[in-house]
Chain A
Amino acid sequence: MTGLVAAVILVPIVLGILLLILRRLSPWARNLIAVLGSAATLGLAIVLWVTAGPGSHNLWLMGVLGAAPVPLLMVDGIGLLLVVLFSFVWLLVTIYSLSYMKDYPFQDDYYGFLLVMLGSMVGFCLSQNLLMIYLFWEVAGMATWRLVAFYRNDREIRAATKTLFMTFTGSVLMLVGFAGIFVEHQTLNVNSLAGSGISIWASLLILVGMITKSASLPFYIWLPDAHTAAPSPMSALLSGIIAKIGLIAYLRIFIQSQVVLPSWWPLLVAGLGVGGSLLAAGCALRVKDYKRVLAFSTVSQLGYIFIGFAFAEGFGLMAGVIYLVAHCLAKAGLFMAMGIVERTTHKRNIDELSGLAHSMPVTAVSCAVLMLSIIGLPPLLGFFGKFYVILAAVKGNLVIATGGIIAAVMTVLYMLRVYRMFTGEPREGITGRDSGVMTTVVVVLAAASLVLGFLFPYLSRFLDQGIVAAL
């Protein structure tokens, strides 16, 4: 088991570093390594899931830090779920990239960093030691920096620098908070904090790091720029997975650890969440670039997950996790669909596009499904996330729940704004095209959103056993 855990983290990282070092590989071999690397990670993750058993809550002691051996990694229900989900989406994104990125230079960098980032994400999901959390967090952050600036124009470099600057500032502050925990409790193990309190300044500093990474009020402003600048598959990863880092850390450090939090804490986090959600939804109603609209939408949805996690008792924890899964699938799919639109029409302004459903019907329908999932209508998976978040919010505070509902209505409006590109009469000279591999990937994600909606009872049973019961 220990070997398996090590393998699922190290295989992608080693392969990624290999790609970064051996720069002269033929494109064919490089693509093969990239796809096989993420496929192997997915395979290992599934094997890990099967051997560990869903719903288990097991600890693996690994490594020696200082004098005594300390627990570094943990395999539990939520970690397994996230690892399988993320490596699945990652594989799809890699396959999509083969077609999307094929005309660009620096592809060794691209696939290399992609694999390193995958490995660090997997490691992050399995970490339960504050130091490991920080380590994987920063590795993923560095890879993000390079991939956002992939095109290396002035605009992209600025966006990447902004991303790095803000998230790094946040994570350093968080590290200070970690140090505070260590000073108070002489431990870096999240699970040994149960029942004890963390001093307010430390928890606030940690929270700052999380909201910066998970782009909530008031530190979200890097995210729209980063998404607009990054290549579409990278935007998909950024929105679907990387931006969730802060939330997963919140889940590990503030919820699963069962630390005692001050009574005003849920209201603070939920307030920031709903504020960010409304603010970003409002911005999404105004901006013209469809990728930027979706980026603001990501900020808005992340705020929603914060609401769920803030009121974690009862429905909230499950709500947040379901929302996270639904959003990961749907938003990754949407960004890749927008990538196809961008690639075939060479337009980024929603006002310049219309009637694309005639020329790219499959993408249009998949997009509708993905958007409806984000809007949160049944039978798609997003509905359940929204429903449980609102349940949790009503239990916590009715005003916040109402804010969430208003944000949901705004979601309908801005998604329809983007969807205008598919409806109506086609424009002269602007046609899109369903492109084999890329469209297939989008269809797979749309189908996943739909099928998981119907399979939700099973997902919920798994979550009940694996996450809620484990607390």
Chain B
Amino acid sequence: MHSFLLMMVIPALAGLLGYLIGRLRNEFSFIGAILTLYYAVRLFFTSRHEVVIYKLMDVSGIPVAFRLDALSGFILLFVAIFGVLVVLFSFRYMKNWKGTRGYYLYLLLALAGANGVLLASNLVTLLFFWGSLLVIVYGLLFVGRPGAEKAARKALVVVGLSDFAMLLGIAILVVKNGWIDLAPRAPMALHDPMMILAFVLVAVGALAKAGSMPLHSWIPEASKTSPATVMAFIPASLDKLLGIYLLTRLSVYVFNIASNMVLRNVFMAVGAITVLGAVMMALVQKRVMRLLSFHAVSQVGYMVLGIGTGTPIGIAGGLFHMLNHSIYKTGLFLSAGSVEYWTKTDEIDKLGGLARQMPLTFFSFLVCAMAIAGVPPLSGFFSKWMVYQGIIDVAREGNRLFPIFLVAAMLGSVLTLASFLKLLHAMFLGGRPKALAKVREGSFTMWLPTMVLALLCIAFGIFAYQVPLRGLIYPSLPFGVEPLGIWQPVLTTLLLLVALGIGALIYLFGTARRPVMGRTFVGGEKIADDEESRVPGTAFYSSVKRLPIVDDLLRFGEAGALDLYNWVRGILNGVGVVFRQGIDQALEFLHDYLGKLIQATGKGLSYLHTGNLPLYVAWVFLGAIVFYLVLLLG
């Protein structure tokens, strides 16, 4: 069997076997994920130097074909890596959850579906796997706490809506252009309104998968009920990789987004709004998972912003940010999952002071949090930097709106840092609630995956040029990317280390070790070291809630007024009322009325039948007269 097909068959088969032989589901899942990784690595190395095309068959004129190139090659590799890590993490983590048989099945099917999406060589083949993935995710979201069906429902409606939009877009491309290849020889300029429509419709599908606003609402909803592993695998990594993969394909390979400035502005605006809107929502969250899930939305903004710039550096930055994001966000969700597993809660108020007890988890969470906040020299900083460069490059092309996007991107970065400071304080630093005294670092299946991801964040930051950019990102784009001006990650890291070293020397030999300690004046009150005087993390940034305008928006946001799902449901239900009460009932009435009319006519005619013979004779006589009159006069 062709290794492309194996990439789909192996995980699917492993999942099915694990489902049928429930006792061995961990083993089957792990073997399936590892084998997938093995083939992914092989394909990755193949993809470095050649493009492989494999045509399976023609279905009434539409080819079912697969292709491997540099872009799909590296994403394939990372999907497989995340698959292995998440499966490994799940062994211990999922012990507390119900329905794990279905869980592993869906997880591996999702892996298979994602491989299908990445290997598809044309839009129709892609759509098949893309939609299948929605069905699988719908099933996967049912694994969870009571109330999980709400998230599943939202995901099906919102992502389903975008899938249908995509279907329409692809149909337009097939019919008007007869051209659905995902990597044609030359990308098409976006001037024809029909093609712009098709592009936007397919891009809606990509954005919904990535979780960009306003198509994001199922992700925070799912975070309430779904296991951390599901969050880490689907919205945090897989969906980002696939959504941004498709967006890159569309705007670089199939079409040339650089050819239409209006469209670029629209995309950048969507990106900027997503960055800011979601990060604001994140600031005021009270649960770890929900907070992280808003960041999973917010970060998509950077990727969309980067690709929307249409400049080589911006697109490369968006793509790099996608990769970085899926690494650190998976790390964050899994670390938070570790904490949740041992503390049995993810409420920020009930956590605190775990750094000592879970040092490895703390380390990986810290690194990933700093990476997402964009602290140099970690990976997140570098890709955001590239996105900023892209925005500045757009300005050179005469775009006047660029300051808005730049400010939004930078402000989003600051707020991200702020919200992660809150989270770090609330989970690992600060006062420790009594209930958590016995929490310990867990088994290696839980800390190893998070550690791997944290180390990747560091490596991709320090060696950004040498490893990810030169090895993964640049080869997968059809144009050359100018090297960035002054930013030298290795040098910067060295300088930072030197600075830290000097700081340490000053700390050791200077006066800082002997500070003057005094009592804090608290107005004569006594502060006891107990539960009530602990400072939890939820109090951070509550002032954000009191800002004018922002407070209203946040309140609406929390109430679901900005949720596309509610909008769609509301509007279509309204249409339903009009149709049902207006048209349907009217037709029903017409039908009944017609029936009554016929009955009434029959009844009226029945009065003529009295059974009286002379009357009938009279009728006949009258009829004859009329008949003859007509004959004579006609």
Contacts and interface: CB of A to CB of B under 8 A. Distances in A.
Given A221-B587, A412-B161, A457-B57, A387 B580 contact: no
B127 A279 contact: no
B131 A383 contact: yes
Nearest to A459: B59
A420 to B, nearest CB: 8
Contacts of B344: none
A428 B583 CA distance: 38
Interface stretch (A24-32, A52-60, A389-397): A389-397
A460 B57 CA distance: 12
B149 interface: yes
Contacts of B135: 372, 377-380
A420 B131 CA distance: 22
A221 B165 contact: no
Contacts of A218: 587
B160 A377 contact: yes
Interface string A300-326: 000000000000000100100000000
B120 to A, nearest CB: 12
B568 A409 contact: yes
B580 A286 contact: yes
Interface stretch (B293-301, B451-459, B571-579): B571-579
Contacts of B581: 286
B584 A221 contact: yes
Interface residues of B, number: 52
A165 interface: yes
A175 B580 CA distance: 32
B204 to A, nearest CB: 11
Interface string B118-142: 0000001001111110110011001
Contacts, number: 133
B206 interface: no
Contacts of B584: 221, 279, 283
A456 B59 contact: yes
Given A279-B583, A285-B573, A423-B149, A378 B157 contact: no
A119 to B, nearest CB: 31
A398 to B, nearest CB: 8
A315 B129 CA distance: 21
Contact of A416 (B153, B172, B577, B583): B153
A279 B147 CA distance: 32
Contacts of B172: 394, 398
A368 B138 CA distance: 10
A286 B128 contact: no
B470 interface: no
Given A409-B161, A413-B157, A394 B579 contact: no
B164 A402 contact: no
B525 interface: no
A287 interface: yes
B168 A405 contact: yes
A227 B167 CA distance: 31
B577 A402 contact: no
B157 A408 contact: no
A294 interface: no
Interface in B40-87: 57, 59-60, 64
Nearest to A412: B160
A318 B576 CA distance: 31
B171 A391 contact: yes
B175 A286 contact: no
A162 interface: yes
B588 interface: yes
Contact of B579 (A165, A279, A318, A464): A279
A232 B430 CA distance: 62
Interface residues of A, number: 52
Contacts of A424: 146-147, 149
A460 B60 contact: yes
Interface string A148-167: 00000000000000100110
A425 interface: yes
B577 A375 contact: no
B579 A221 contact: no
Interface in A436-471: 456-457, 460-461, 463-464, 468
B578 A162 contact: no
A282 interface: yes
A412 B156 contact: yes
A101 B146 CA distance: 36
Given A318-B60, A409-B572, A460-B60, A387 B591 contact: no
A390 B579 contact: no
Contact of A401 (B128, B163, B171, B576): B171
A390 B167 contact: yes
A351 to B, nearest CB: 15
Interface in B613-631: none
Contact of B127 (A315, A378, A401): A378
Contacts of B587: 218, 221
Contacts of B184: none
A278 B146 contact: no
Contacts of B167: 386-387, 390, 405
A379 B132 contact: yes
B501 interface: no
A202 interface: no
A412 B162 CA distance: 12
A377 B134 contact: yes
A249 interface: no
A299 B576 CA distance: 14
B128 A383 contact: yes
Contacts of A391: 171, 174-175
A425 B146 contact: yes
A332 interface: no
A410 interface: yes
B569 interface: yes
A394 B576 contact: no
Given A420-B149, A423-B142, A456-B59, 12 more contacts: A221-B588, A282-B576, A282-B578, A372-B135, A372-B138, A377-B131, A377-B163, A378-B135, A383-B131, A387-B167, A405-B164, A423-B153
12 contacts: A221-B588, A279-B584, A285-B572, A286-B577, A377-B135, A378-B129, A378-B131, A410-B575, A412-B156, A413-B573, A425-B146, A464-B60
